[in-house]
Chain A
């Protein structure tokens, strides 16, 4: 599964789609903010605000939640139009287990695919085997078991699921703490205990051992699902996130450019409260996205329980 850095064989011809390239792509996103957009205009605002990448969707998660019905992959034409107009990477979502949507996205040249619970799952039991793709994948996770299962399936990046489209950071906090807390436990465990964990999670022992040794996930780990303000972003960085996805938070607010800039600033300088305060001053709570209390959602309205 794991490729070593030291290749004995000389590679005179270029090699594509290696683990180093897929995980390396995600590393280049670290410390940055990836913003959900639905058209070229929003994508350009995101680029101007300092996003490290955009995620192109048909509807923002908050609107997916409102619209109901089946949420699918975005229109290809919109994704292609965005790719033609901005220089930063372009990502797009496919439904969980929808191998063909993923193949389509790969074929048009999307830089990363999010196999996402925000869309309606196409397969209730299986995720895509991501090893056979050249393009890297990001997957959502609520806890360490989910994160490691997705990595074992070939994910090059993990993000918390949070609860998308709510503007409520509570679930993202819960999920990040679950992942980081369990990793701290693993660091103290012996091999036998790690083997039990591997059995419980249904993942290879080597992966559990590597995670324990590194003291972090072996891939980049972003926060997502409910981040709406600069302080939300800084909070997630403080909890150990490598970077931030903002879904509805920016373009469901009334001040997208300023808010985008402010969240980027707070993500870079999360350790310095005076800069987070400066970022917070750039936006006003009156223009923030109106949030949803998770407790008011019915169990079937929660996206985080899709694809475990």
Chain B
């Protein structure tokens, strides 16, 4: 079997954390594969699955657009490449985005997923929180979720399925090959969400 190449978009943010977690998860699952940081077009073209990490979505979107990465991600997504967006990655994948305080956002988006996202939905950093979250597709054991200036999904439509809610707000969802979480699984030791994503890539 061909080795699975997983890329983490490396413009900015929690890149090394995802790379470490994915390499660890590949080992746990016994998958022949490797995870690397992706910074340019040639690297991006090579990957079989992509993670868009947490960070500042405005910055990631702008730099990725200027380097021609956004169009290539859109192309890959439409070809069926699995893409996992956490926090900032969730924002970038959305078709519609607005900010709770500022309203209209001035930032490039991939616009791939049938979701409407509210940025900074819980407030500022002091409102950031950790909570044990019920995610039915991962089994009964709650998932330790770290929300940092997190967005939420206000509504989903089309083929998008809700995977988890917190206090009535959608915080994880899937639309075929696209997976998103408003929290940071790369900051905890629970590998189940990364396992779920890697299964999508097999």
Contact = CB atoms under 8 A, between A and B. Distances in A.
Interface of A: 5-7, 10-18, 20-21, 24-25, 27-32, 47-48, 50-53, 83-89, 106, 109-112, 134-136, 264-265, 268-269, 272
Given A15-B129, A21-B146, A50-B59, 5 more contacts: A10-B132, A12-B131, A87-B58, A109-B124, A265-B66
B114 interface: no
B130 A28 contact: no
A89 B10 contact: no
B125 interface: yes
A21 B131 contact: no
A21 B59 CA distance: 21
A51 B59 contact: yes
A301 to B, nearest CB: 34
A24 B184 contact: yes
Nearest to B64: A268
Summarize A's interface: helix, strand, loop or mixed. Answer: loop
Interface in B92-112: 99, 101-102, 105-107
Interface string B181-197: 00010011100000000
B14 to A, nearest CB: 5
Closest 5 CB pairs of A and B: A14-B129, A111-B125, A31-B12, A52-B56, A109-B124
Given A265-B63, A268-B63, A18 B17 contact: no
B128 A21 contact: yes
Q: Interface range on chain B: under 10, 10 to 19, 20 to 34, or 35 or more?
A: 35 or more
B62 interface: yes
Contact of A31 (B13, B129, B142, B188): B13
Contact of B59 (A25, A27, A88, A272): A88
B102 A84 contact: yes
Contacts of B120: 87
17 contacts: A5-B144, A6-B144, A10-B132, A13-B131, A14-B129, A15-B130, A16-B126, A16-B128, A24-B128, A24-B148, A27-B17, A27-B54, A28-B149, A30-B12, A30-B15, A135-B126, A268-B63
Nearest to A27: B14
A125 B56 CA distance: 36
Interface string B39-69: 1100000000000001110110011001000
B68 to A, nearest CB: 13
Given A21-B130, A28-B54, A85 B125 contact: no
